[in-house]
Amino acid sequence: MKIISGSAHPDLAQSVADYLKVTPCDATVTAFPDGETFVKINENVRGSDVYIIQPTCPPTNSNLMELLITVDAAKRASAARITAVIPFFGYARQDRKDQPRVPITAKLVANLLAAAGVNRVLTMDLHAGQIQGFFDIPVDHLYAAPVLIGYLRSKDIKNLTVVSPDVGGLKMSDAYAKALDVPLAIVGKRRISATKVEALNVIGDVEGCDILLVDDMTETAGTLCAAAELLQERGAGKIYAGVSHGVLGEIGKKRLSDSAIEELITTDSTPMAKGPKVTTISIAGLMGEGISRIHNDESVTSLFDIG
């Protein structure tokens, strides 16, 4: 087994390597003065089972290109098998033609990874689970829910209700509600622009309840903050948010800081998952265990279990 870290999130790659009790492969990742990426693997990987850890978070294009180049380097160095470990899969929101003359970029990225020489993909909480079907190679799709729910159970939260901040996240929110054995509610929303969202109505009883808003990712925190404001107006108590991927920019951090949300609980799938009110839970053990089981040809299904 060889673990290669890209430059997107070296801290996570090191934590995964520590969990697996291996030393990350020595590799040089630099950029030429004109911006071209250069990758050199500085040790023998011939016949090895190679895992390249690189979330395709912002800067998305640079990180994606670096991943493809690293895959090509490993393939040309005669690696036996190459697994792209992508804790956060960028472009996942562009998964369908929802307007005329637009691309399905998630499918394009799947094609690029396969063309570069990736033999299988390990990822977590895709924006749409159906993206697995865009690949003609095996995809192991892990979930952050067991990690986040483990943390939530350690907190003393009474009279909890899980709320989906939009209709699209209903399936994920329902899984959290069932695992925590609490009621479920939904916020109806209307998107005004890429950074602005209007919350319209709440379906379900939230008055006097502590709230857990559940979503797969947040970037500008518009959906979460608009939902929290509406829930507060409807008499909700403390409002928490649990998201798998915190791709937080300056807009998102400021909104969270000014919002009714007490705490945003997220994972370290991206290096941006930090800021005021943000609690980051490590997925190094989850990803490490996934890698270990793939390497040993074991089942990864039990990693979905919420104890």
Which residues belong to CATH 3.40.50.2020 in the chain? 2-143+285-304, 145-282
Question: Which pLDDT value is given to residue 9?
Answer: 97
| Catalytic residue positions, numbered | 189
Q: Residue 240: helix, strand or coil by DSSP?
A: strand
Are the C-beta atoms of 17 and 48 separated by less than 8 Å? no
Q: In what order do the strands lie in the sheet with 49-53?
A: 2-5, 49-53, 81-86, 120-124, 139-142
Q: Residue 276 is encoded by which pair of tokens? A: 């005021």
Are the C-beta atoms of 51 and 4 separated by less than 8 Å? yes
Question: Which pLDDT value is given to residue 251?
Answer: 92
Domain 2-143+285-304 class? alpha beta
Instruction: Please name the amino acid found at residue 183.
Output: P
Question: Which pLDDT value is given to residue 166?
Answer: 85
| pLDDT tens readout for residues 83-118 | 999 999 999 999 999 899 999 999 999 999 999 999
The H or E element that residue 292 is part of is helix 284-295
Are the C-beta atoms of 72 and 107 separated by less than 8 Å? no
Question: Which pLDDT value is given to residue 201?
Answer: 84
Q: How far apart are CA 66 and CA 139, in angstroms?
A: 20
Q: How far apart are CA 48 and CA 116, in angstroms?
A: 17
Question: Which pLDDT value is given to residue 194?
Answer: 64
Percent residues over pLDDT 90 in the chain: 82
Question: Which pLDDT value is given to residue 302?
Answer: 81
Question: Which pLDDT value is given to residue 195?
Answer: 66
> 280, exposed or middle or buried, with CB in 10 Å at 0-12, 13-18, 19+?
middle
CB atoms within 10 A of CB 62: 16
Beta strand residue intervals within 125-196, DSSP E: 139-142, 160-164, 184-191
pTM, to two decimals: 0.93
Question: Which pLDDT value is given to residue 228?
Answer: 92
Those residues of the chain that have pLDDT short of 70 are: 194-199, 307
Helices 10-20 and 284-295, packing angle to 10 deg = 60
Q: Residue 181: helix, strand or coil by DSSP?
A: coil
Could you please state the CATH topology (level 3) that the domain comprising 145-282 is classified under: Rossmann fold (3.40.50)
